Amino acid sequence: MSPQSLAGLIEETGDPRFAYDCMRRLIQMFGKVVLDVNSELFEDAIDRVKRRLNLSSDTEIPADALSALADEFRAIVRRESGMDFPDDPLQQLRMAIEAVFRSWNNQRAIRYRRQNNIPDDLGTAVNIQSMVYGNLGDNCATGVCFTRNPNTGERGLFGEYLPNAQGEDVVAGVRTPKPVREMGDDPALSDAYTQLLAIAERLERHYRDMQDLEFTIQHHELFMLQTRNGKRTGGAAVKIAVDLASESMISHREAVSRVEPAQLDQLLHPTIDPSARVQVLATGLPASPGAATGKVVFDPDEAQRRGQAGEPVILVRIETSPEDFHGMVAAQGVLTARGGMTSHAAVVARGMGKPCVSGCTALQIDYGKGEVHVAEFTFRVGDFITIDGATGNVLLGKVPTVEPTVGGDLATLMGWADSERRLKVRANADTPQDAIAAREFGAQGIGLCRTEHMFFQGNRIDAMRAMILATSLEEREQALAEIEPLQREDFLGIFRAMDGYPVTIRTLDPPLHEFLPNTEEEQADLAAKLSIPVQTVRDKVNALHEANPMLGFRGCRLGIQYPEITRMQARAIIQAAIAAAKEGVRVEPEIMIPLVSTVEELKRQRALIAETIEAMFVEAGARVPYTVGTMIELPRAALIADEIAEQADFFSFGTNDLTQTTFGLSRDDAGRFLPLYVDRGILPADPFQVLDQEGVGKLVAMGTQLGRQTKPGLKVGICGEHGGEPSSVAFCERIGLDYVSCSPFRVPIARLAAAQAVIAAGENDK
């Protein structure tokens, strides 16, 4: 705005205050958006004027003060940008247009396009339109509103407005707006409000979705500035989709397609109270959704003690291992300094539905001192912190959380989704409690029961450690005899929970060193408990040490060297299946051999299992159906899948390990650099979160095709964490897998994603 334009505006309106207010707003907005001047500099100047004149609102600033403020804004622009504010309207317009194009190519915009699959070559449009003014008096206003509540989905106008103001005042938060419904009580604005209600309903019916509206009222007259589909919470997305279908605006299929599967996470876990004031200390990886507040605890034993006493605790570890399992069970949430999205902490926490933030490298943990340093703070045992597993944020102190409340809309939407999908959805569950939760979330069986997790409950670990430390077959079998009835009872509980559905049980998989204590103090305690020399424990720990344990003595290799382990687990499975069948439970046990890379490994383990089970059938005088298959998690297994299928009744792709072995990445360590790879576009996404369809996916597709060449009816699924990731689920649908399996709390996400994949395929075929 030039001095001549300013003078013309004063002459035309007869209102110097309005003209000077427009002038300062133009300089302020132009400086912020076009010249990248810090907006706080302008706000500080406004606050100084209000304090000097003892004013409560910027609408009370008189004309002469606004004129002086405009001059000060010019000085701020000159100082911060190195150039004078341009008075030529055409130069202002040209520079504003160039700023829009620049914004499309900055790093933030590039990341936004990649995250939302927007092509880089998509053109940028610049809208140029005449101005209307909401700051011309009390019969003017500006506002932003939604046609339905974006937090709850309730129908009705929801939003805010400001009288005698411009649009930026609402969105910038520099003034406290009023609820939009109060416009109807204002005689100067009530007619415009009635008109707004009618237009809002008309726009929603036209676009068949909840709308986000911006408007300005100038001298009683309503001007609609913009409408677009409004953003909404997960709960609101479900309710709006169901309501729109009930109102016959959209079909059931459209309702299923309208909800982002990832939004369902908000419905299944506590979240940070949006009204709470929080201080973010650090940010790690959002490894498992949900929010939790608790006392810092570093030791899993102490976490268990405090948790059983009713104290809320957050288990803080450099990284977790299977022997931390009991502490994770007792904790409200888990926070680690190392590890990725599929690290031990992340996988276990997701399976239990607990919040987890992993790979928070800003944490400096000192177990010896019992301290963790982050930012300028030091936390000791008993100090409160809060973690947000949805964002990866670590927050200072106690922060209130909100429990999800959905009602029946989610069940309605899931019913519509289930009528569309082909893929079955199973759950990864290791305990009867996990299986019950999985069934409640709609799981159609268990796709992965990790038997090793059963060993970490209560005192069971002692028997497992005794087995590892045994020096003879007799001692090993004696220790296994203590474990067998415990595993049998767990399997029985799982079969009961999954009545009528298949249960895939993986035989022992992790390297044995993970079951033994690491510290000298813990090793001494174990030696005393087992009445053996402490040096025996230390020698065994050293003997089991491996440079790369995830590619070492684990999986089927354990069962081949120690066949008594496989025999014990086969007995426990079938004993439980027979007992469940006698109760009237329909059982479908599927015994899965892990980490197979040769046909001979599977052949020998299968023969051992069959021999053990047939002897049990004779002993029990009863039979139950069972199958034996394998977990395809090594590239070699995928490449010779046609040969392996000769010995397998089913395949389950373990995509966590298959991703590790295909990429040559350690999932526990790659979190240090994978975010950089994603940020710089070297990888489109973290391959441990989103299935790498070009590489790992090609192995899955190839292994499936080869396996079915040998056995056309071969049942094939995946049981890695990708089983609950929407794009990975869609890939599994495209290549014709039979099922996906994921953490219990992700089952609804997978069900919805599977339905959307079918709907999308049908639309693409049209």
What letter represents residue 202's amino acid? R
Which of the 8 DSSP states describes residue 592?
E
Whether the Cβ atoms of residue 312 and residue 292 lie closer than 8 Å to each other: yes
| CA 88 to centroid of chain Cα atoms | 50
| CA 685 to centroid of chain Cα atoms | 14
Torsion of CA 205, 206, 211, 216, to 10 degrees: -110
Q: Which of 344, 453, 513, 722 is catalytic?
A: 344
DSSP 461-517: HHHHHHHHH-SSHHHHHHHHHHHHHHHHHHHHHHHHHTTTSEEEEEPP-S-GGGGS-
Task: Quote the CA–CA distance of 130 and 500 in Å, as a whole number.
Answer: 67
Task: Quote the CA–CA distance of 28 and 32 in Å, as a whole number.
Answer: 6
Phi and psi dihedrals of 758, rounded to 5? Answer: -65, -45
Q: Where do the H-state alpha helices sit in 311-408?
A: 325-330, 344-352
Any residues with CB less than 8 A from the CB of 324 and at least 6 apart, and which?
300, 315, 317, 344
Any residues with CB less than 8 A from the CB of 13 and at least 6 apart, and which?
19, 136
If you search the block for the tokens 């008309």, which residue do you land on?
Answer: 202
Q: Which of 140, 719, 732, 742 is catalytic?
A: 719
Any residues with CB less than 8 A from the CB of 593 and at least 6 apart, and which?
506, 507, 555, 556, 559, 601, 602, 605, 606, 628, 629, 630, 631
- Paired with 386 in beta bridges are 293, 395
| CA atoms 102, 103, 106, 111: torsion sign | negative
- What is the helix, strand, coil percentage profile of the chain, to 5? 50, 15, 30
Q: Where do the H-state alpha helices sit in 167-299?
A: 167-171, 190-207, 234-246, 252-258, 265-268
The tokens for 586 are 């329909």
Which of the 8 DSSP states describes residue 185?
G
| Beta pairing class for 424-428 and 739-742 | parallel
Full strand arrangement of the beta sheet holding 221-229: 178-179, 155-163, 141-148, 211-218, 221-229
Whether the Cβ atoms of residue 632 and residue 705 lie closer than 8 Å to each other: no
Any residues with CB less than 8 A from the CB of 279 and at least 6 apart, and which?
395, 396, 397
Any residues with CB less than 8 A from the CB of 539 and at least 6 apart, and which?
none
Nearest residue to 675 via CA among 341, 334, 288: 341
Whether the Cβ atoms of residue 147 and residue 211 lie closer than 8 Å to each other: yes
Per the annotation, the verdict on 719 as an active-site residue is yes
Where would I find the beta strands (DSSP E) of 635-752? 650-653, 715-718, 739-742
| Beta pairing class for 313-317 and 393-396 | unpaired
Q: What's the Cα-to-Cα distance from 92 to each of 9, 76, 86, rounded to whole Å?
A: 18, 17, 6
Torsion of CA 736, 264, 322, 529, to 10 degrees: -130
Return the active site residues.
Answer: 344, 719
